[in-house]
Chain A
Amino acid sequence: MSARVGVVTFPGSLDDGDAARAVRLAGGDAVRLWHADADLHGVDAVVLPGGFSYGDYLRAGAIARFAPVMTSIVAAAGAGLPVLGICNGFQVLCEAHLLPGALTRNQHLHFRNRDQVLRIESTRTAFTRAYADAQEILVPVKNGEGCYVADARTLDALEAEGRVVARYVGENPNGSLRDIAGITNEAGNVVGLMPHPEHAVEALTGPSQDGLGFFTSIFSHLGRPTAASDTAAANAPGASV
């Protein structure tokens, strides 16, 4: 049985469609979740997509944090549910205190939209198991408030505990401290990153297919074969024995 991955839609979400598509391309079942519905519909993992939830009013992610669906997600994340926050989703996770630190205005004040090389720094999270240590991947980055900040003690703890998940390689697109592009919680089931792996899942629309690993990782984390590997197993010699 394949995994059911919930994708939340807030008012102002933009990348929920692409996130759901990435889940399907990875071999999972995408389940659309609505911000005003506290029911997680029994999903095995959740993706908080990019966009401008609630118009980014007050601060990016500040109002989304109080959506009914987030109350359920915060509780479930505490119990081990894999949760991936991309861009605005990362901002929501920080506002919800599931991840430390905050995302602030890009240092150069420009909205930055380009393909970006990242280095995967931790392959022990629910969303990065499919990568090799220190693997470099190419995915789009597009944000205006992507500058990751935290106090020095928090940054030192993140580094010491191996909780920096990805770092920008080459030019830092937003001024994030220590080139941090993504981080994880202590348990490794909650991951937030500013760049967009869901936009790099097929050759037609992305700069690479490097982003797919974030989604295929979910299935190995859960111990669930994907539909694709089910098929491969069914076709393998001796599979019917």
Chain B
Amino acid sequence: MARVVVDVMLKPEILDPQGQAVADALPRLGISEVASVRIGRRVEIEFTGEADLERAREIADKLLANPVIEDFAVSAPQEGPAA
């Protein structure tokens, strides 16, 4: 499988009200040691041929992330045992 993973996160300076709402809910679970929660998006891309990190970066930059508010990281996970 030629899978590439793109992780998209809001830039640190952009407010993440969803993450804040989750963080605010944690005390109801009895969890008090979490300082903050940030929510992002994980995108898995399957290439028909070889995994192409450069191409994945282009996809991320043009479509998957909005560089005004988001950062992204591209990685090719190690092949695990076939599912």
Instruction: Assess A62 versus B63: contact at CB under 8 Å? Given A102-B68, A102-B69, A109-B21.
Output: yes
Measured CB to CB, the closest approach of chain A to B42, in angstroms, equals: 13
Count residues on chain B whose CB falls below 8 Å from chain A CBs.
12
User: At the interface, yes or no: B75 with Cβ under 8 Å from chain A?
Assistant: no
Q: Quick check: B66 and A62 within 8 Å, CB to CB?
A: yes
User: At the interface, yes or no: B17 with Cβ under 8 Å from chain A?
Assistant: yes
Chain B residues within 8 Å of A66, by CB = 63
Chain B residues within 8 Å of A220, by CB = none
Q: Quick check: B17 and A109 within 8 Å, CB to CB?
A: yes
User: At the interface, yes or no: A107 with Cβ under 8 Å from chain B?
Assistant: yes
Q: Quick check: B15 and A94 within 8 Å, CB to CB?
A: no
Q: Quick check: B21 and A107 within 8 Å, CB to CB?
A: no
Residue of A whose beta carbon sits closest to that of B43: A58
Q: Number of A-B pairs whose CB atoms are under 8 Å?
A: 35
Chain B positions within 8 Å of A, measured between CB atoms, are 10, 13-15, 17-18, 21, 63-64, 66, 68-69
11 chain-A/chain-B pairs, Cβ below 8 angstroms: A58-B63, A59-B66, A94-B68, A95-B66, A101-B68, A107-B15, A108-B17, A109-B17, A109-B18, A149-B14, A151-B13
Measured CB to CB, the closest approach of chain A to B18, in angstroms, equals: 6
User: At the interface, yes or no: A13 with Cβ under 8 Å from chain B?
Assistant: no
- A95 and B65 CA atoms in complex are apart in Å by 10
Report A135-168 residues with CB < 8 Å from chain B CB: 147, 149-151
Top 8 A-B residue pairs of the complex, sorted by shortest distance between their CB atoms:
A102-B68, A102-B69, A109-B17, A105-B17, A107-B17, A102-B66, A59-B66, A109-B21
Q: Quick check: A58 and B17 within 8 Å, CB to CB?
A: no
User: At the interface, yes or no: A208 with Cβ under 8 Å from chain B?
Assistant: no
